[in-house]
Structure 1
């Protein structure tokens, strides 16, 4: 059985599990306190055996992002944990919404050619297997509210503050 590498990155928003196949970064998980469980779960979805270690470039780039030294990821990505409409939305988000920018759920729906699909866009954001790198934290509501986030609202606020979209938290 083929394998994939995984590691834990301690970040300002908590531990992140990073997983990488031969094709590229395949999964970023928030709240990776039980990383072994999440690695085995990702492995069963991928049909691959998890092996701890590696991910030097992913770790370096994500660490540089959190240090405000990187504004654009150049990692190869393995999109196989998403498909269909969700994958299309996430690829559009990755290609069109850069560092320090935001887009609305409705705007992303229009980009897919289905302007009534705002809720489906929200579902795609919630199922994003590559958060931080594929920046679902940059998606906000039509009223400018930050909306929801799988990593928690404190993490979303911190990421938006890092990128200069929101003021840095005082505490």
Structure 2
């Protein structure tokens, strides 16, 4: 049974604790959907001031909604469209401080004001993206970006 670790200590120590928890949750579990579901729940529990945390999976043509925590979301996103599609097409993390200023932003949840999207890549293969939204503008910083890139790399290893 999973039990959340206490989040005393520095922010960096909390991020390390979450990565440790992610490893424990995925250890020995071969099912990608189960791992993605637990990963999205862990992030939602661990990241304050977020309103949507989850995954879009690449089906060879477009991004398709995967396991998530939050309100119902857009189901399909073309590569190159919106924050998720752009991050997937460019295979790079995008941190958007104000989504309303992002050209072509796809508004799945009107409460979202900032977003971070991290591609899930293993070798040369794109598997999808990790997408996190916040109702706060400029919610995500560089330290959190590095943490989420490590988180996404761990997830990519089990896909």
TM (norm. structure 2) is 0.32
TM (norm. structure 1) is 0.30
Higher strand share: 2
